[in-house]
Amino acid sequence: MSRRRLIRITFVQWALIAAGVVLAVLTPQLANWDLAAIGVLVGYGIVFELLSMSSTVSRVNVSGGSVVIVVAAVLYGGAPAALACVVTLGVGWLSSRERGVKLGHNLATAVWFPFLTGLGFHAVITLAGVRVGSTTFFLLAFP
């Protein structure tokens, strides 16, 4: 990969990460920062990340961490879930040691996947008039 292309990719990755942070700051009403509960979910995410396994089909590690991130996005919102995902990824990085562009892709995904999941779920329950804590809410959250 040429140096110029590498610089462009890195710039886009950091721009995406920064945009996620800005969006989190601009949408505080969509987040529930229950740090104790989010901390427990992060703990589970870290355990799942450390117990990840290499896929026999492709060069991908598989873990249960994404389930934890989706639960965080649904229950606490996109920004707390994004923070949980970045922390989980950071701890997982200690064993995987992805470099450069691959780490940048993973960080950008760690910010946007949970954020968009939380925003999407919030939009669905708001448009459908579903009350948080109702049976319908839990059926939508955990099908």
User: What pLDDT is attached to residue 64?
Assistant: 85
In 3-state terms, the chain is what percent helix, strand and coil (to 5)? 75, 5, 20
- Stretches in the chain below the pLDDT threshold 50: none
pLDDT in tens, 86-102: 999 999 888 878 888 88
The sign of the CA dihedral 132, 134, 138, 143 is negative
Determine contact, residues 112/18, Cβ cutoff 8 Å: no
pLDDT at 57: 85
The whole-number pLDDT of residue 81 equals: 97
